[in-house]
């Protein structure tokens, strides 16, 4: 009779950055990466949905909420690093781009010179990257890929694109995989 030893199987945790264009299917794919996890914290760090001011955005928020399992804990917080650190179980952040847009506004980036606030922006991104690196559970970050089109004449759009590009690169450094979603198809980068 052969002896079979029970080898300890360690859980594999993966940190993923899921990027893509608007309506590419990136959020749906990101959610599929954690749907089997026993505990999931869904962090929504963007602006609040205001149906009167922006009915389209409010409708998207409702669509995302309806798709999530009721067992998932939702945390709406602009304090992204703290929310990632405090989360229980697997973490999904949807969406880094929304957080970047909020953070630029919070730091008065739409009105002040970049020299006045950009170092604080970079430090916030670094703090989030450190929080992601410290997690021992699965982390899925959803973000937008905005740098593949024409260079716009709108300075605000360029500022957002540049800073989101920086944030995406920094967060990708802490991830095991980066996934690009195009037309619902996933490409592993």
Domains of the chain (ranges; CATH) run 15-188 (3.40.50.300)
* 64: annotated active-site residue: yes
Residue 65 has pLDDT above 90, yes or no: no
Residue 8 has pLDDT above 50, yes or no: no
Average pLDDT over every residue of 105-126: 95
Q: Report yes or no: 127 and 84 within 8 Å, Cβ to Cβ.
A: no
Residue 47 has pLDDT above 80, yes or no: no
Specify burial of residue 168 (Cβ count, 10 A radius: 0-12, 13-18, 19+). buried
Extract the tokens encoding 138: 């699965």
Please give the mean pLDDT across all residues of the chain. Answer: 89
- pLDDT above 70 covers a percentage of the chain that reads 88
Terminal C-alpha separation, the chain:
47
Farthest-apart Cα atoms in the chain, separation: 77
Q: Model's pTM, two decimal places? A: 0.88
* Cβ burial 82-105 (10 Å sphere, 16+ → b, else e): ebbbebeebbbbbbbbbbbbbbbe
- How far CA 63 is from CA of 56, 60, 67, 97, 185, in Å, comes to 11, 5, 6, 18, 20
Extract the tokens encoding 145: 């890929």
Q: Report yes or no: 146 and 153 within 8 Å, Cβ to Cβ.
A: no
With tokens 């229980």, the residue in question is 88
Q: How many CA atoms lie within 13 A of 14 on its CB side?
A: 12
pLDDT digits (tens, 9 = 90+) for 137-170: 999 999 999 878 778 889 999 999 999 999 999 9
Residue 20 has pLDDT above 60, yes or no: yes
């Amino acid at each position: 009779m052969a002896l079979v030893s029970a080898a300890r199987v360690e859980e594999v945790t993966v940190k993923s950055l899921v990027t893509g264009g608007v309506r590419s299917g990136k959020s749906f794919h990101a959610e599929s990466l954690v749907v089997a996890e026993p505990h999931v914290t869904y962090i929504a760090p963007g602006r609040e949905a205001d149906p009167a001011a922006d009915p389209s955005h409010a409708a998207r928020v409702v669509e995302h909420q309806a798709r999530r399992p009721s067992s998932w804990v939702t945390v709406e917080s602009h304090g992204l690093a703290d929310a990632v650190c405090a989360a229980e179980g697997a973490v999904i952040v949807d969406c880094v781009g929304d957080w970047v847009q909020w953070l630029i506004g919070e730091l008065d980036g739409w009105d002040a010179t970049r020299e006045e606030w950009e170092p604080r922006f970079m430090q916030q991104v670094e703090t989030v990257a450190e929080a992601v690196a410290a997690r021992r559970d699965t982390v899925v970050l959803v973000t937008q890929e905005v740098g593949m089109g024409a260079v716009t004449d709108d300075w605000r759009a360029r500022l957002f694109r540049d800073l989101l590009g920086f944030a995406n690169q920094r967060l990708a450094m802490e991830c095991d995989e980066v996934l690009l979603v195009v037309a619902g198809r996933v490409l592993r980068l």
